[in-house]
Amino acid sequence: MIAQAAYYPVFLDLRERRCVVLGDTPLADEKARALRGSGAIVVHIRRPFQAGDLVGAYLAIDASDDPAAQLEARTEADRERVLLNVADVTHQCDWIAPALVQRGPLQIAISTSGESPFLARALRERIERILGEEWGPFTRLMGRMRRRLRRAGVSGEAQQRSYRRLLRSRAAVMLRDGNQDAAAALALTIEQGARDTDGSPAMGEVVLAGAGPGDPDLLTMGARAVLADADIVFHDALIGAEVLGLCGPRTRLVDAGKRAGGRSTSQSDINAAMIAAARGGDLVVRLKGGDPFLFGRGGEEVEALQRAGIPVRVIPGVSAALAAPAAAGIPVTHRGVAASVAFVTGHRAQREPIDLGALARSVDTLVVLMPSELETIAGRLAAVLGADRPAAIVSQATTPNQRVVRAPIGRIAAAARVARVEAPSTLIVGAVVNVLSDIEGLSAAEHQTHMGALASPM
């Protein structure tokens, strides 16, 4: 059962309303300034409360920090039907002030119903770092578009498409960079498209976005934004439910994964579906594990989309090639130990034209992604590097199910079988595997746990 909120959130129009602030404190000064900023007629009473102070007030704030006076003010507020807020005394409040993020006409209020003002402030500060000052002029730009489209008699559906296009466009970036004229021109172009349309939607867009190695906190802010706005997301098979949960409530999800030995969607079918969706006006996200351009066939998809005349852009992601070793406490390079690293996929490592032995000999650290035939790969590496070369398998990196198995390359396949390592996994080979686990006074298991904690974002 969902608990009922104790307060009803509302924004009040206080213009020309008489509002009383009680108290000669810095907090009282702050509250008075905020009320004046809303257009209220503010009466700031700095002396101790007296009967009649709240008569005729629309609402009042008691920031006097005087318990006896607060009780008197509470009694008068009830009698005069004045909405009263007593600072930091929640049980005496008719209303509470939220933590507020303000960007011009855009206001975001955060309340914990009095449970934790600290948490409300902390969340406000986080949102302030996400929503820059450009969102004020962007909100006004959106308002001007809305008024013009309504005056022009544009249909509601076409209006909504225009708003979505403006929100997804680079207008906010232009405003952040001070290019107000460019943002206004872009908005006018979108509006004109809504007026001139014959009923068919304007061309959409495809975004290739990296989903990272598994932990949803490792997605970039750009990837999170397009997932929230997307009409349709074509995702890889191994993208987790928590990552897909970042998609908007109306986003359509399509499993476009390729599964070794199982039923898969062909690349040509994926390309055709993305092209059709974009031509239908959708914002299409191709969500790929790790980074789209590191063994992700992202380049092939970009080529197909460009040939079809579809606007396409790429948002890089955190690759498991770096994230998996880091999450296990393995630096792929380390001063005095390893100055070079190479990356290869498991299926390429098993066949030509990759000379796995030559590649392994040429670098200090070798990282093999998705080593499905681990025994074969490990055997080839042991033959050229020696069976005692340090190695590690990191399974389901950065997720709650992450497991790390360390063993010499000659025994790593057997150790992985005993540990029942599951896909997706990453093989790391080189002296770096044990460089941090050998710290005096810290066992490998303890260090592994410690590094996992450090790798997790706050």
Residue written as tokens 């997307």? 230
Residue written as tokens 């349309």? 197
Residue written as tokens 């544009």? 154
Nearest to 138 by CA among 194, 90, 80, 180: 180
Question: Is the distance from CB of 226 to CB of 317 less than 8 angstroms?
Answer: no
Query: Is the Cα torsion angle 14, 16, 20, 25 positive or negative in sign?
Result: positive
Catalytic pick among 181, 236, 255, 438 = 236
| Residue 444 DSSP SS3 | helix
Residue 421 and residue 402: Cα distance in Å, rounded? 9
Helices (H), 57-116: 67-80
Q: How many CA atoms lie within 13 A of 436 on its CB side?
A: 21
Residue 261 and residue 284: Cα distance in Å, rounded? 28
Nearest to 344 by CA among 358, 333, 328: 358
Please give the backbone phi and psi of residue 219, each rounded to the nearest 5 degrees, phi first. -70, 145
Structure tokens at 332: 């792929």
236 as an active site residue: the answer is: yes
Catalytic pick among 229, 255, 258, 291 = 258
Q: CB neighbours of 320 closer than 8 A, spacing ≥ 6?
A: 213, 214, 289, 290, 369, 397, 424, 426
DSSP per residue over 162-207, as a string? HHHHHHHSSHHHHHHTT-HHHHHHHHHHHHHHHHH--SSPPP-EEE
Residue 270 and residue 338: Cα distance in Å, rounded? 40
Give the residue numbers annotated as catalytic, written as ranges: 236, 258
